[in-house]
Chains A and B, each alone.
Chain A
């Protein structure tokens, strides 16, 4: 099985450790990972802001870059949702649908394709998990990330109240409606702090940047972390 890592543009620039963590976990499980350098951005921000014409070249680039692989694995629920749910609406073609059907969010790939929940990680900390909207309601990740976290040695998972509520990020929404976004953020940060967790884990670094920025602004003692980095820890 040829596995390609789709790291996503946000992770490439801002969170390289998340990409490294995916490589670590998959190699630990005995798989070889490739990183096709032609990959760039999935175009989610363009598409969700209404810039269809500007999105299409990025769709083409994704399909070209990844069509040779059996599985494309990404540490971002919203980018995978973009590829699997929105691409077929934007530019339907057999080649695109084939690539889209082979694109997985990390927890889907581990739990469904590899049949693994214990990836041999150790993380002796109290963690709470925020299920990001596109993972929850577009990919229907369900409890897959939780299954993976619960199998981590030493990890205590604290339930997050109002977990399924949006954090208020919403891509350009955070800039177009900063007040509403900030009000949603304040409630999410309060719920996170109430858990008493040291770490806030999620499947999307974009949402984590938003929540983490709110936590940092209020000097809250909670560190945002992509759950892949927890799975890579030992």
Chain B
């Protein structure tokens, strides 16, 4: 069953990328932010002598989870239920939203506080709750900024990465109820203080908290949230009811497996040795924390992704964002260009697989295959390999439909599989280009070519072939 919700890009990547590229402020903000996190990550990863072994362990544990997902899910359900939680299952975004909306409506409350969560962004939960009259308050600082700005997140870990602090102050001044305009500067502590005042009242009064989970432990039924601010901890402990939306791939077999992932995740994501808050809860603890605990396990295209032997490695992802921060394409266009809540290299392989064929067709091409993402990935997802694999699937699925690219590729393949045809083609190319020398510039370079090569000469000159190919030279040299 294909995934639905905010994982399908409304427009092709090149169209959205062109729009984002025009925003100079965005380019500047992204460059500064990604380079800062990139450098921090490199520093703290370099401190760990067994980093490569940790990556291999992380990949192996996740592969084990994927290999026996059905039985581990049942084990998790049994353990969580025994601990007092109620487990729900949802096949897609609409089902998951309906489950959560019904649970909230049953409490009679009109407002919920939210822990930062990709799963709820993926299923479009806030919009779904709004539709039934429930207001969801994002409490992660960056998610709050995005929500106040009526915007969408542009990064998995740093949803407001596309804003600088001056822009954030302007958003607060314009949109934050009761903000003290006279004292609000663009100093980060001042901005954090304003958010704290705004949120504190909500934490103390709201009856329902909604979260995702970084990890779900099969043998104990425990959920884990890893965060920096402590606002998540507030939402996880103060409300009477806690509803957690969890993708089915979030499982780890045993509690001890956290040892590997709590080392991999903070260093890869925020570039910290350890994250400030790690919350773990197992069902209900009488008299302590939420007394009603629900867990909604969401498929939304994950089972389809699991069926692909090459593509399924994308389900190892622990949403650290290291691949976004090192990606030269992401750095130039930002997350909105990818259209899905999962942007960057991981989004380019995850969104098309989750949404199924037909949607997100341009995303696997949103990469130069430079490989920086694979090197940074803490669970060794070979993103370039999956990108090429998805390009293959796309090409195979559209066989039979006319395409100029396919004709060109076929012709080149036909010519190049035979030495005589190939040599003749080189000769023809060399001779055909000869008249162009007359219009070439000082360096023998062409400044303008017709479509489709106009895309090349839009920003760079094109060279002309010299008067002799290598094989012509070699044959002449060795003819005696």
**Interface of A with B (CB < 8 Å)?**
7, 9, 11-14, 16-17, 19-20, 35, 37-41, 43, 45-52, 54-55, 57-58, 60-61, 86, 89, 133-134, 136-138, 164-166, 168-186, 209-210, 212-214, 216-217
Total A-B pairs, Cβ < 8 A: 198
Of B17, B374, B426, B460, which is within 8 A of A185 by CB? Answer: B460
List of A residues within 8 angstroms of B419 by Cβ: 37-40
In the complex the two chains form, what is the Cα distance from A201 to B328 in whole Å? 21
Of B366, B367, B385, B443, which is within 8 A of A89 by CB? Answer: B385
Number of interface residues of B (CB under 8 A): 69
List of A residues within 8 angstroms of B466 by Cβ: 14, 16-17
Query: Is the beta-carbon distance between A168 and B470 smaller than 8 angstroms?
Result: no
Contact flag A51-B459 (CB < 8 Å), given A40-B417, A170-B367? no
List the 6 closest pairs (A to B, CB-CB), nearest first. Answer: A170-B368, A213-B460, A50-B391, A182-B459, A137-B371, A166-B370
In the complex the two chains form, what is the Cα distance from A13 to B13 in whole Å? 33
- CB nearest neighbor in A for B419: A38
- CB nearest neighbor in B for A89: B385
Of B385, B394, B405, B456, which is within 8 A of A174 by CB? Answer: B456
What does DSSP make chain A's interface, helix, strand, loop or mixed? helix
Contact flag A55-B460 (CB < 8 Å), given A138-B371, A183-B27, A216-B445? no
In the complex the two chains form, what is the Cα distance from A37 to B441 in whole Å? 33
Query: Is the beta-carbon distance between A46 and B332 smaller than 8 angstroms?
Result: no
Query: Is the beta-carbon distance between A40 and B443 smaller than 8 angstroms?
Result: no
Q: Give min CB distance, A105 to chain B, whole Å.
A: 15
**Interface of B with A (CB < 8 Å)?**
13-14, 17-18, 21, 27, 328-329, 332-333, 364-372, 374-375, 385, 388, 390-396, 405-406, 409-410, 412-413, 416-419, 422-423, 426, 429-430, 441, 443, 445, 447, 452-453, 455-456, 458-463, 465-466, 468-471, 473-475, 478
In the complex the two chains form, what is the Cα distance from A86 to B384 in whole Å? 11
Query: Is the beta-carbon distance between A61 and B368 smaller than 8 angstroms?
Result: no
Pairs across A and B, CB under 8 Å, 11 listed? A13-B430, A40-B417, A41-B416, A46-B412, A57-B413, A133-B371, A170-B368, A175-B455, A175-B456, A184-B368, A185-B460
List of A residues within 8 angstroms of B396 by Cβ: 50, 52
Q: Give min CB distance, B42 to chain A, whole Å.
A: 11
In the complex the two chains form, what is the Cα distance from A118 to B469 in whole Å? 29
In the complex the two chains form, what is the Cα distance from A47 to B391 in whole Å? 9
List of B residues within 8 angstroms of A45 by Cβ: 409, 412
Contact flag A58-B328 (CB < 8 Å), given A138-B371, A177-B365? no
List of A residues within 8 angstroms of B452 by Cβ: 175
Query: Is the beta-carbon distance between B413 and A40 smaller than 8 angstroms?
Result: no
Of B328, B366, B456, B465, which is within 8 A of A184 by CB? Answer: B328
List of A residues within 8 angstroms of B459 by Cβ: 178, 181-182, 185-186, 213-214, 217
Query: Is the beta-carbon distance between B413 and A58 smaller than 8 angstroms?
Result: yes
In the complex the two chains form, what is the Cα distance from A173 to B333 in whole Å? 14
Query: Is the beta-carbon distance between B422 and A213 smaller than 8 angstroms?
Result: no
Q: Give min CB distance, A46 to chain B, whole Å.
A: 6
- CB nearest neighbor in B for A208: B463
Of A9, A11, A180, A217, which is within 8 A of B416 by CB? Answer: A9
List of A residues within 8 angstroms of B18 by Cβ: 179
List of B residues within 8 angstroms of A49 by Cβ: 391, 395, 405, 409
In the complex the two chains form, what is the Cα distance from A214 to B371 in whole Å? 23
- CB nearest neighbor in B for A22: B470
List of A residues within 8 angstroms of B366 by Cβ: 177, 180
In the complex the two chains form, what is the Cα distance from A46 to B426 in whole Å? 18
In the complex the two chains form, what is the Cα distance from A9 to B429 in whole Å? 12
- CB nearest neighbor in A for B474: A35
In the complex the two chains form, what is the Cα distance from A20 to B474 in whole Å? 9
